[in-house]
């Protein structure tokens, strides 16, 4: 399959108001992509869109405010996106949230909230927009999983479950897409310096001290800038890479999981310590 062409294409991007999503929007704009930016943060979307229109007057930038934890609302958003943007050539499902605490410390409503955003929103939007991607030859679909879609450490039962589910969904779609002129990529970022840990929900059974310790531990491992991550992702899209691992913090766990699929956490703890 030929390389993906950004200039003149149209990208729908979720989670576009901050973090990796914002960085992707900025890099896509610099490559000449027309943009449809989706997020629940209206102020953040306005800021990003204003900057992009100022720096890249030759592209179109549309903003869509949507709460992807609302299944019915996400279904409506997907239908509207498909109707209003039939020329879409790139869909990037990047929106994601975190939930702190071991499985016995988190509530089922919080678990479902995370799954609705991290997994079900990607499934729903893909279902609506896939016909346009199939119709517009040379298109590409991207789902942003995580290093925790490769390994599942303690305290991440909800997050890892959603990212493993997204990985499986993406890999199955990739096999199906062999019959279409369409690329499919699954992205596995390692430690990216975003606010996902600081903004995470906390299980109701965690004390304030436990919650702070958890956030501090995660934040110390976040060393890669969102801009650098976005550049790696877009290079992977351009080259139609099926899997994109970002940073040693993703590549090392991937190797460990292959070497010792039942005991990789012991190996990782030994390596880190």
**Contacting residues for 154 by C-beta, under 8 A, at least 6 apart:** 102, 265
Report pLDDT digits (tens) over 45-93.
Answer: 999 999 999 999 999 999 999 999 999 999 999 999 999 999 999 999 9
- The mean pLDDT value for 31-35 works out to 98
Most distant CA pair in the chain, distance: 53
Confirm if 147 and 255 have CB atoms less than 8 A apart: no
Confirm if 16 and 40 have CB atoms less than 8 A apart: no
- The mean pLDDT value for 24-43 works out to 98
Beta bridge pairs of residue 182? 139
Class for domain 10-247, per CATH? alpha beta
Report pLDDT digits (tens) over 169-181.
Answer: 999 999 999 888 8
% of the chain exceeding 90 in pLDDT: 78
CA pair distance 9, 92, nearest whole angstrom: 13
CA pair distance 173, 168, nearest whole angstrom: 9
Between 2-6, 145-149, 209-213, the lowest mean confidence (pLDDT) is in 209-213
CA pair distance 123, 143, nearest whole angstrom: 10
Residue 273 reports pLDDT greater than 70 = no
Q: What angle do CA 252, 111, 73 make, to 5 degrees?
A: 110
Beta bridge pairs of residue 184? 141
- The mean pLDDT value for 192-206 works out to 64
Report pLDDT digits (tens) over 213-272.
Answer: 555 555 455 668 999 999 999 999 999 999 999 999 899 999 999 999 988 887 777 654
pLDDT (0 to 100) of residue 222: 61
Catalytic residue IDs: 159
Distances (CA, A) of 201 to 130, 157, 159, 259, 263: 31, 13, 11, 33, 29
Residue-range domain boundaries for the chain: 10-247
Tokens standing for residue 211: 């919650």
267 three-state secondary structure: helix
């Amino acid at each position: 399959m030929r390389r993906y062409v950004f200039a003149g294409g149209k990208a729908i991007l979720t989670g576009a108001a901050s973090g990796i999503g914002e960085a992707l929007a900025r890099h896509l704009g610099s490559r000449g992509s027309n943009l449809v930016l989706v997020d629940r943060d209206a102020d953040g979307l306005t800021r990003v869109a204003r900057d992009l229109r100022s720096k890249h007057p030759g592209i179109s930038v549309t903003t869509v405010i949507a709460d992807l934890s609302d299944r019915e609302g996400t279904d409506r958003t997907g239908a509207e996106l498909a109707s209003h943007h039939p020329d879409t050539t790139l869909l990037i499902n990047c929106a994601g949230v975190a939930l702190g605490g071991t499985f016995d410390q988190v509530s089922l409503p919080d678990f479902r909230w995370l799954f609705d955003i991290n997994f079900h929103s990607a499934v729903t939007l893909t279902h609506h927009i896939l016909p346009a991607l199939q119709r517009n030859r040379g298109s590409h679909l991207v789902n942003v999983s995580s290093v925790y879609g490769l390994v599942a450490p303690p305290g991440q039962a909800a997050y890892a479950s959603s990212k493993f589910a997204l990985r499986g969904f993406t890999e199955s779609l990739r096999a199906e897409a062999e019959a279409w002129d369409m690329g499919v990529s699954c992205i596995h970022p390692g430690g990216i310096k975003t606010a996902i840990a600081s903004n995470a929900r906390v299980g109701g059974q965690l004390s304030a001290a436990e919650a702070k310790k958890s956030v501090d531990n995660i934040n110390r491992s976040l060393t890669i800038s969102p801009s650098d991550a976005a550049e790696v992702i877009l290079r992977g899209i351009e080259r139609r890479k099926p899997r994109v691992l970002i940073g040693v913090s993703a590549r090392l766990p991937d190797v460990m999981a292959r070497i010792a699929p039942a005991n990789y956490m012991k190996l990782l703890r030994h390596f880190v310590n």
